[in-house]
Structure 1
Amino acid sequence: MVNTQHGHGDADVLIVGAGASGGVAALELAGRGFRVVCLEQGDWALPDDFTGGKPEWELTRLKQWNPSPNARGRESDYPVDTKESPIEPLMFNGVGGSTIMFSGHWVRAMPSDFRVRTLDGVADDWPFSYEDLRPFYDEVTHHIGASGLDGDPAYPDPHTFPLPPMPIGKYGLAAAKGMDKLGWHWWPAPNAIASRKFKNRPACLRYGACESGCPTGAKASTDFTHWRDAIAAGAVLVTGARVRQLTVDNRGLVTGAEYIDREGVVRHQAAGVTVMAANGIGTPRLLLNSASAQFPDGLANSSGLVGKRLMIHPYASVYGTYEDELETWLGPTGQALQSMEFYETDAGRGFVRGAKWNLMPTGGPLTHTLWEPGEDWREGFGPAFHNRLRSTFGRYTEWGITTEDLPEDHNEVILDPGATDSDGIPVPKIRYTISENTERMLKFNVDRAIEAHQAAGATSVHPIPVVRESGWHLLGTARMGTDPATSVVDEHGRAHDVPNLFIIDGSVFVTSTGVNPTATIMAVALRAMRHLADNRHHQTTAD
């Protein structure tokens, strides 16, 4: 029998995961006077840990700062079985979670995203509207110091930004001219990156290393934007704490969580309310690992939907090569432009819903000289090496395409029956296929992006219809809704089956939307946690 030690005293609220939604929860609740404890399996990162300003930067992206936990293999990571998925899930375990390594695209969902069933007859409507979420979008945007230009005509409201947009650069100007020729929408892209000094963060120095950690702290990762203030308000953040299961009492209420510390000691953290903020793979993994006699199919899973309806946003890259030096090594990475031209449903295209485009730089010289499996190595090495580098470095830019995928039960996160992490906890396995609707969407948008490059003067175009290492957006595996038979949590993240359990990460998404989800995740989390705080006396009772 394992001797379980006590954690950090009884908490009013236990948060599992210190990423985007966990940071929002900690700051809101600690600031409202709750005793908050957060368990995070990773650790703090310091700006000097990131290599964006160091000569070894591009090499460390291959291992130490690889976005895939399977490739990175840190002690704080857990493996994910991806043999049955064409897309590799990407995430980071640590204070700040995946905001440490995200590109910083700060994009709101569209009003139509919340009404997909009503408008298009597929999936389900969200239990609230864009207008309901709008004040929380506004609050989070101004809290984190997003950079952007007010008045994007793709949106119905001229939402504002506390900082001006990042420069679009030479490559942004070239792409914008191409879009103008075609009469297509583009807009200087909003980013969760400081274009000027903001609070405790300096202005971006444009390293272009956003996807492997910001070496200056200009990017709005929640270790900067939320966790320092939450700790100052009294929140306790426990790092190196890998949760293995949530515990319940004989009433079916969550009593806290068992976790393993870095010394291998099993500890229990007690709490009146538990909040899951472990992302769309980590949260269902823990709920399924918390099966018991009371909850034989996993905690909060009477609907059978925990782990189901995984949505990842299949991503396509369309690269263009240009004769002019466009400084495509210059950050941020980050997006220079975004386009919503093909976002809303047009039945004539043969699919429903749509995609968001983002214009991205393409990094340093190593990016353009790596050999990819399946390619002829002679095309990149020997006499071809310098020609390849000369034609691409600084002259190669990407239209990235984030496509919406709709919720389907067969896309799922399950427990791998034959594998565990380094602490012996069963790891997740994902089963995921790209739907016919999304395949059509990908093809349509790739073809249009080729046209966009050609209109901008590209001398050659290189499309990648599906990028395997692109699964940052892990959504839908504990969806919200009003009916306990067809959803896991209500509109404020409260589990239908367990009244003192909340889920606030991307798991709760009803549909995936077609945009980068971090702004929506944080706005939804803020809405949920403010409701919890406002109704604190009703949260731990079963009625």
Structure 2
Amino acid sequence: MPDQQSADIVVIGSGICGALAGQRLALQGASVLILEAGPRLDRGRIVANFRNSPRKSDFMSPYPFSSWAPHPVYQPEDNGYLVQAGPYPYKPEYIRIVGGTTWHWAAQAWRILPNDLRIKTLYGVGRDWPISYEDLDPFYQEAEVKMGVSGAPNTGSPRTQPFPMEPVAESYLEQRFRERLAPAGFEVVTNTTARNSRTYDNRPACCGNNNCMPICPIDAQYHGGLAVDAAEKAGAKLIANAVVYRIEHDERGRIAAVHYYDPDKTTHRVTGKTFILAANGIESPKLLLLSASDKYRNGLANSSDTVGRYLMDHPSNGLVFDAEEELWPGRGPMSPSSINSLRDGAFRSDHAAFRIDISNSSQVQSVTQALIAKGVYGTELEEQIRYHAARQCSLKNVLEILPDPNNRVTLSDKKDALGIPTPQMHYAMNDYVDKGMAAAREAYTQIAGLMGGTNLRYSPDGVYGNNQHITGTMAMGSDPKDSVVDAFGRTHDHENLYIASTGVMPTAATVNSTLTGVALALRSAEHIHANA
């Protein structure tokens, strides 16, 4: 017989959404147990791994890979954890460790726009959300206080209270972009970020290290590891290296227990009153599908056949160019500012909306590699590095992709070291995305011209990156026939199973999904407490 543990609230996944939902419930007096598939490690080890890594631009390399909780790895080669069924490869970079993927995020903590929740009604595309922006506002505010979010007032998203702190000081690059683009109507907005501009929550202010991704070396930037610390301080218990492989239900359809393996494949059973599935938008639907039974042959929470469907991210194209003046990117945060004027409008009926992100990442490495590849060396190499590293700039978009039921996560025939099937990705783009990318390219050209840009290098046509913003695979909705969870994140099929994940977002909008995921998770936690 497996050993058994129990708690009022059992949370599967220790990422930022699950940890902060767990903290909230623990503070309200519930016993909370958080199960994390991956290992626990501290910032010091991650920073040392980063500094010793030969691949500084590989944001996964500082994070340990565990055979019992595998995650995707693409450099120096693809480990094949995510099986690609096509037609377009979808290769997100996420981490299975205590604290989750926000260890290596850019800390962008945007709110969506009110119109983002009504794009079907307003523009005839996508899906409407079953909640309003006003429903989210207090939980956005709560999340911003917990995470220490700083931002400018001109984001386009209404607020009933100010940000917890003022924005991080502008870099010189950001100042010059703002000054040179303003006459043409391109407003450069300081990004909304979970990054300290002053001492906050016993953490220091940003000191401009410029390696926010893959790790802030001083914890000026919030991450899921800090969220776990807060949950434990509130009384929650964490078990690391606990790979949940099955969710068990009773004859009425209520969740009775979860089963997990430790690294030696010893099985353990955990019972509870309420369960929160808080892995990401790939690992969560994987677990629901793995938990199929005689009663639920298509997997748990899947009477609608929408578990795993409507997979979305934010595809991107970009432009690299040389500005006519020295800007020296690399001083301050890596992603300091954006252009938001194309996030909404009547054009959304025809093509995707997007936000343009202005990079401030150091260009020294990429410039040096390109010059060496051209055979430049010696004194000329040094001169050319100094010239181009001071001027090379890059832009990219964060573009909305519409929910498509054929873009989905399923189970593959491949199994990991514990014998658990790995995820299989089905993904495609369409004309709505392609037209949005073309509009972004026109905007890039205007911006480069205003910066006196030369040597313009656009992304290849039809080749898009992604932003690791996994959404949509367990969408919320009012109708149980076409959604997985209700407006509070409770699964339609199981009254005591909630999902706290960016995967419940019905649409992706045009901004990083983390803050919205946390706000939704906190809203779910309030509902759980009110109905306990």
Task: Give the alignment's TM-score, normalised by structure 2.
Answer: 0.92
In 1: Cα distance, 2:3 partner to 2:311 partner? 35
Pick closer, same or farther for the CA change 1:338–1:405 going to 2, 3 Å.
Answer: same
Corresponding residue for residue 523 of structure 2: 527
CA contact (8 A) 1:308 1:408 kept: yes
In 2: Cα distance, 1:51 partner to 1:236 partner? 26
Corresponding residue for residue 164 of structure 1: 166
Pick closer, same or farther for the CA change 1:327–1:80 going to 2, 3 Å.
Answer: same
Corresponding residue for residue 101 of structure 1: 104
Deviation at 1:87, TM superposition (A): 3.6
Pick closer, same or farther for the CA change 1:530–1:86 going to 2, 3 Å.
Answer: same
Deviation at 1:407, TM superposition (A): 0.4
Deviation at 1:456, TM superposition (A): 1.9
Pick closer, same or farther for the CA change 1:30–1:526 going to 2, 3 Å.
Answer: same
- Structure 2 residues without counterparts, runs of 5 or longer: 65-70
Is 2:262 the partner of 1:280? no
The 5-angstrom pairing of residues 107-118 of structure 1 reads 107-118=110-121
The 5-angstrom pairing of residues 316-335 of structure 1 reads 316-333=317-334, 335=335
In 2: Cα distance, 1:227 partner to 1:491 partner? 25
Corresponding residue for residue 363 of structure 1: 362
CA contact (8 A) 1:254 1:501 kept: yes
In 1: Cα distance, 2:349 partner to 2:486 partner? 33
Please, which of 209, 221, 224 is the counterpart of residue 222 of structure 1?
A: 224
In structure 2, the residue corresponding to 1:10 is in which secondary structure?
strand
Please, which of 203, 206, 217 is the counterpart of residue 205 of structure 2?
A: 203
Please, which of 106, 131, 136 is the counterpart of residue 133 of structure 1?
A: 136
Pick closer, same or farther for the CA change 1:146–1:58 going to 2, 3 Å.
Answer: farther
Please, which of 385, 389, 404 is the counterpart of residue 385 of structure 2?
A: 389
Counterpart of 1:311, as a letter, is M
Pick closer, same or farther for the CA change 1:233–1:55 going to 2, 3 Å.
Answer: closer
4+ residue runs of structure 1 moved beyond 6 angstroms?
A: none
In structure 2, the residue corresponding to 1:338 is in which secondary structure?
strand
Counterpart of 2:177, as a letter, is A
Please, which of 118, 137, 147 is the counterpart of residue 144 of structure 1?
A: 147
Deviation at 1:271, TM superposition (A): 1.6
Deviation at 1:309, TM superposition (A): 0.6
Corresponding residue for residue 64 of structure 1: 61
Is 2:215 the partner of 1:213? yes
The 5-angstrom pairing of residues 219-298 of structure 1 reads 219-224=221-226, 226-298=227-299
Pick closer, same or farther for the CA change 1:315–1:293 going to 2, 3 Å.
Answer: same
Counterpart of 1:126, as a letter, is W
CA contact (8 A) 2:50 2:56 kept: no
CA contact (8 A) 2:324 2:451 kept: no
Pick closer, same or farther for the CA change 1:153–1:468 going to 2, 3 Å.
Answer: closer
Deviates more, 1:477-486 or 1:90-99: 90-99
What per-residue deviation string (whole Å, max 9, x for no partner) do you get for residues 366-421 of structure 1? 233446xxxx984366588556633432322222210001100110101112x112
Corresponding residue for residue 6 of structure 2: 10
Please, which of 67, 79, 82 is the counterpart of residue 80 of structure 1?
A: 82
Deviation at 1:264, TM superposition (A): 2.5
Please, which of 476, 483, 486 is the counterpart of residue 482 of structure 2?
A: 486
Pick closer, same or farther for the CA change 1:160–1:111 going to 2, 3 Å.
Answer: same
Pick closer, same or farther for the CA change 1:392–1:43 going to 2, 3 Å.
Answer: farther
Pick closer, same or farther for the CA change 1:58–1:316 going to 2, 3 Å.
Answer: farther
In 2: Cα distance, 1:97 partner to 1:108 partner? 21
Please, which of 426, 432, 438 is the counterpart of residue 421 of structure 2?
A: 426
CA contact (8 A) 1:209 1:331 kept: no
Counterpart of 1:514, as a letter, is T
Deviation at 1:134, TM superposition (A): 0.7
Pick closer, same or farther for the CA change 1:292–1:110 going to 2, 3 Å.
Answer: same
In 2: Cα distance, 1:72 partner to 1:271 partner? 40
In 1: Cα distance, 2:318 partner to 2:90 partner? 14
In structure 1, the residue corresponding to 2:330 is in which secondary structure?
coil
In structure 2, the residue corresponding to 1:163 is in which secondary structure?
coil
Deviates more, 1:167-176 or 1:104-113: 167-176
Deviation at 1:362, TM superposition (A): 2.4
| RMSD of aligned alpha carbons | 2.6
Corresponding residue for residue 21 of structure 2: 25
Pick closer, same or farther for the CA change 1:161–1:52 going to 2, 3 Å.
Answer: farther
In structure 2, the residue corresponding to 1:389 is in which secondary structure?
helix
In 2: Cα distance, 1:528 partner to 1:386 partner? 56
Is 2:464 the partner of 1:462? no
Deviates more, 1:98-107 or 1:77-86: 77-86
Pick closer, same or farther for the CA change 1:387–1:245 going to 2, 3 Å.
Answer: farther
The alignment of Structure 1 onto Structure 2 pairs a total of residues equal to 521
In 2: Cα distance, 1:248 partner to 1:370 partner? 55
- Structure 1 residues without counterparts, runs of 5 or longer: 537-543
Deviation at 1:145, TM superposition (A): 0.9
CA contact (8 A) 2:136 2:520 kept: yes
In structure 2, the residue corresponding to 1:99 is in which secondary structure?
helix
Corresponding residue for residue 540 of structure 1: none
Pick closer, same or farther for the CA change 1:66–1:355 going to 2, 3 Å.
Answer: farther
Corresponding residue for residue 39 of structure 1: 35
Is 2:473 the partner of 1:477? yes
Task: Give the alignment's TM-score, normalised by structure 1.
Answer: 0.90
CA contact (8 A) 2:150 2:167 kept: yes
In 1: Cα distance, 2:150 partner to 2:293 partner? 47
In structure 2, the residue corresponding to 1:196 is in which secondary structure?
coil
In 2: Cα distance, 1:87 partner to 1:179 partner? 34
In structure 1, the residue corresponding to 2:8 is in which secondary structure?
strand
Deviates more, 1:258-267 or 1:44-53: 44-53
Please, which of 511, 515, 522 is the counterpart of residue 507 of structure 2?
A: 511
Deviation at 1:341, TM superposition (A): 0.9
In structure 2, the residue corresponding to 1:315 is in which secondary structure?
coil
CA contact (8 A) 1:207 1:330 kept: yes
Corresponding residue for residue 339 of structure 1: 339
